[in-house]
A and B are shown apart, each in its own frame.
Chain A
Amino acid sequence: MTELRSATVTGTRSRRLAQTFLGAIIAALIGAGVYTSVTIEDRQTSIDHLFRYDVAYTATQAVVELLRFQDALLLLDRQRTPEALAEAELRFEILVGRVATLEKGEFAAFAEKTPETARAVSELRAVVTALDPLMADAGPDLDVEQLVARLVPMDAQLIGLAAEANRESAELTQQNREILSRLHRRYSLLSFGLIVTALCLVAVLAWHNRLLLRAHRNLRQSTGDLQQAADDLAAANDAVAAANRELKQQNRLLSEKEDALLAQNVLFDAALNNMSQGLCMFDGSMRPIVCNAQFAQLFKTQQRLDCDADAVPDGTWSLRDLAPDVALELADNIARSRAASFETQCYDGRIIAVAQQPMADGRWVATFADVTEQRQAQARIAHMARHDGLTNLPNRYAFRERIQDALDRRAVGGSMLAVMCLDLDSFKVVNDTLGHPTGDALLCAVAERVAGCVRGSDMVARFGGDEFAILQVSIERLDEAERLASRIVDEMRRPFTIDGELVFATASLGVAIAPRHGADPDVLLKNADLALYAAKGDGRRTYRFFEEVMDELVADRRAMERDLRRAIAERALDLHYQPIVDLRSMKITGMEALLRWTHPERGVVPPSRFIPIAEDTGLIVEIGRWVLAQACADAARWPSHLKIAVNLSPAQFAHGDIVEDVRTALSRAGLRPERLVGEITESLLLTETTSTLDALRRLKDVGIEIAMDDFGTGYSSLSYLRKYPFDRIKIDRDFLGAAERGEESAAIVQTIVRLGAALGMTTIAEGVETLEDLQMLIGAGCPEAQGYLFSPPMPREQVFEMLRSSDVTARRVA
């Protein structure tokens, strides 16, 4: 590097020198150029001067013109013609002009240089001035000789002048030539100098070039060195960059791993602390390693656990310090090295569900959950599924299961068991009249009373509503069941005290005995129910044991239902009409339509048998619609003052559109609405609903009359009469035909009639069969009546016939 630098310094110095030389030479060249220009300018000036105006020629021309004038004069002297004269005059004029020329301008400058030439010009001027007057007056007789004589001295003067001008010209030429040759010498020297300078320039340039070459070589060499160094550096740089990349890569990987770990950590943390269960990781000796907030929360109330949500397990306590039961189970499973799930009740009552799992390194992880509420809810649901919510008695499901269980046991023991169904006789009335809260209280009291009648091994259940069931197990003799049934019925006869009021709620009971009446819970229940039905049929407040015939009755009922359906389809039902008579005029005021069914095998079936079936199955809706249509159609053909009374079933109100049916029947028959009387029973009002009341009102709006049938048999609540817009009251047949009741009946009938009259209702007595009845009714003031005394129900044709043949007066039995 030092050599390189010294060489570079030397080269630089030499080049600077060479540049200085070059500058000097260029300056010299410029100087030479300028000088050459000056020299050339000088030369040009000299040459110009050389070729300027030629005085010698002018002087010579003057000589020639003088001679031509003399020649013209001589010619004139010989010929004496005007042409010759004109020629002479012209030549004179030219000569004069020449002399004038010699006197002016550059020639004058030349002529005045010497006295001789100046004198010659002035003498020439004198000669021509002297000749001028002569030439002006010239004529053919011009004295030519005198003129020529005068011109003689002019010759010498002009020739002398010419000679002098010639010498002057030559002199001038010589001077110019000398100037030129001097210039040539200078020019030659200058050229030589230029050549030398050019050579120097070439030499210096060559030298400079060599210096430059050397510098260039040095530069190239140093460039090579630098290139080499740069390459080495680049290689080193690449290595460093590669190493750097590698490091960055490693760093990035590490960073990513760290991020992943961090993220995982966060996830784990979040997962741990957001899981619903408590989690704890512990070693073989049950010392905790990690636990989450829920774990701490779970055992926080434990006095011995010094661990809260943020506490890091410090190994100073073990899981043995938790609930001992949990710890015992955990330890047991650790000893057996097995995963396990278990539930344990702590001493504080909580139920803890634990799932325990061994880990690869001999550690354990366990989750803990407080399932107390869950278990309690489950127990509650299980209880609710098997018990009645109101009385807390077992329900049908539990009862049936218990029967099955008892049957299974009985198979081993050999004893009998009794299944009883109990039904309150008038619960609906209690509910309707005293309200549901009272009804519910009554049900609870009944449950309590019945439960008091049975042994601990027996079971009392409630199926819903007022249906109860009793299971009596391990009975050896039938009278044991009979005794219980009797006792329950007797107990139920005693009134209940609900909210300080006495409530009467008698019960009916049906009993089925296993295995005699069935070996299946469902069969036993069904048979007990049939027995209950029979007990109710027997007038209630009693009990019945199941009998095979009850089953037959049910089968008979089914057959009748089937036949009834067929009868409807085949239009085998018919209407009979019983006249209603005005007791004062003894004239027929109307007819009550009565349904008749003549069974192809059984013969005439009374309405009391098939109407309940029709009501239970809903067939009554269709039948009722037909009855309305038929009765209206028939009545339309009767005299217009006769009314037609049709019985309306509660089912028609509940399941059909009774108002629409009535309207349709009237319009199809073309019957005036006021001729139709709809008869309803008290039972319809027992199921009092807004829709029933609404339907009655709408029927009144249509224009028909409403009659209360069978008044006096049921509750005969006077409030009904006030509440509903009845037009008629029909007194039940029970109040007639009983002479033994005598005075009492008459008083009741009289009361009803008076009541009806007070309320604006017509009273009609039913079932008038004897004269005594008639007399009693007339005595009581009853306005209308119907019965066998007047006429039994008649087929439609017979009614038409009767109406045609007579003026419709009641048959009087004399």
Chain B
Amino acid sequence: MVAVSLRWPAVLLAAALLVGPGAMADPALPQPAGKAILVVSGKIANTNDGAVARFDREMLEALGTVEIRTRTPWYDGAVVFEGVLMRNLMSAVGAQGTEVIAKALNDYRSRIPLSDFERYDVVLAMKRDGAAMPIRENGPLFIVYPFDANPELQADRYYGRSVWQLSEVEVR
């Protein structure tokens, strides 16, 4: 009986430690120093400009970048994309919905379920083959799925979700 009664507080303490990080996330985001290249709106907890969160290139890079190498319908052969994982971005803004609406400079829109970001390493690419992408090269931001790593992604559905010249993300 003594052993059991001693064990319960330990379990509760462990539970508190597990819940802790989420509760302690910083709700406020820093202000963009340079020109904002991405606006995140909708059901987000963390903002820096009213109801939206604005990001410049440095802020995005601060979230940590990764590289994926894949072939796409739009380029010849395999290309290396470097950028932020979409789930890190979602985490940074405290996204609370089920999907996002990704909007491009040419007013192209695509609905992407948030579950895609959990299931796949979807990258918000900022560089292609080591170089920053200007608008004329589908930049500055390009949502890229890891098509080669997951063959089921080589379908029209996911090609349509790969939005280039991304300018805004709305969380719903």
Chain A contacts to B: CB under 8 angstroms: 48, 51-54, 61, 65, 68, 90, 93-94, 96-97, 100-101, 104-106, 108
Contacts and interface: CB of A to CB of B under 8 A. Distances in A.
Nearest to B136: A96
13 contacts: A52-B155, A52-B156, A61-B106, A90-B105, A93-B134, A94-B135, A94-B136, A97-B138, A100-B136, A100-B138, A104-B76, A105-B73, A106-B74
Nearest to B139: A97
Contact of B76 (A48, A94, A105): A105
A689 to B, nearest CB: 108
Given A61-B106, A90-B135, A94-B105, 5 more contacts: A51-B156, A54-B156, A68-B106, A104-B74, A105-B74
A165 B164 CA distance: 22
Contacts of B137: 97, 100
B74 A97 contact: no
B76 A97 contact: no
A101 B136 CA distance: 9
Given A65-B106, A94-B165, A48 B155 contact: yes
Contact of B75 (A54, A61, A94, A105): A105
Given A97-B137, A100-B136, A101-B138, A53 B105 contact: no
Given A53-B73, A105-B75, A105-B76, A97 B156 contact: no
B155 A93 contact: no
A105 B79 CA distance: 12
B159 interface: yes
B145 to A, nearest CB: 13
Contact of B74 (A52, A68, A101): A101
Interface residues of B, number: 18
Given A52-B156, A54-B156, A97 B136 contact: yes
A105 B72 contact: yes
A51 B73 CA distance: 13
Contacts of A90: 105, 135
A68 B106 CA distance: 9
A456 B79 CA distance: 178
Chain A interface mostly: helix
Across chains A and B, which 7 residue pairs bring their CB atoms closest together, nearest first? A96-B136, A93-B135, A53-B73, A105-B74, A51-B156, A97-B136, A106-B73
Contacts of A94: 105-106, 135-136, 165
Contacts of B108: 61
Contacts of A108: 76
A600 B137 CA distance: 190
Interface string B95-136: 000000000011010000000000000000000000000111
Contacts of B156: 51-54
A97 B135 contact: yes
A93 B106 CA distance: 10
A464 B115 CA distance: 153
A304 to B, nearest CB: 117
A93 B75 contact: no
Nearest to A93: B135
A93 B165 CA distance: 10
Nearest to B107: A68
Contact of B136 (A68, A93, A105): A93
A104 B75 contact: yes
A53 B159 contact: yes
Interface string B66-81: 0000001111100000
A48 B152 CA distance: 10
Interface in B47-89: 72-76
Nearest to B72: A105
Contacts of A93: 134-136
Contacts of A54: 156
Contacts of B105: 90, 94
A456 to B, nearest CB: 132
A93 B136 CA distance: 5
Contacts of A97: 135-138, 164-165
Q: Name the residue in A61, A68, A104 with the highest tally of chain B Cβ atoms < 10 Å from its Cβ.
A: A104
Nearest to A89: B135
A208 B135 CA distance: 76
A101 B73 CA distance: 10
A90 B165 CA distance: 11
B106 to A, nearest CB: 5
Contacts of B134: 93
Nearest to B71: A105
B162 to A, nearest CB: 11
A289 B165 CA distance: 148
B142 to A, nearest CB: 11
Interface string B156-167: 100100001100
Contacts of A104: 74-76
A158 to B, nearest CB: 15
A61 B106 CA distance: 10
Q: Name the residue in B72, B106, B159 with the highest tally of chain A Cβ atoms < 10 Å from its Cβ.
A: B106
A58 to B, nearest CB: 9
A715 to B, nearest CB: 125
A100 B155 CA distance: 22
A640 to B, nearest CB: 117
Nearest to A65: B106
Contacts of A51: 155-156
Contacts of B73: 52-53, 105-106
A48 B155 CA distance: 7
Contacts of A100: 136-138
Contacts of B106: 61, 65, 68, 94
A101 B137 CA distance: 8
A97 B134 CA distance: 9
A105 B75 CA distance: 4
Contacts of B74: 101, 104-106
B54 to A, nearest CB: 18
Nearest to A68: B106
A682 B159 CA distance: 173
Nearest to A105: B74
Contacts of B135: 90, 93-94, 96-97
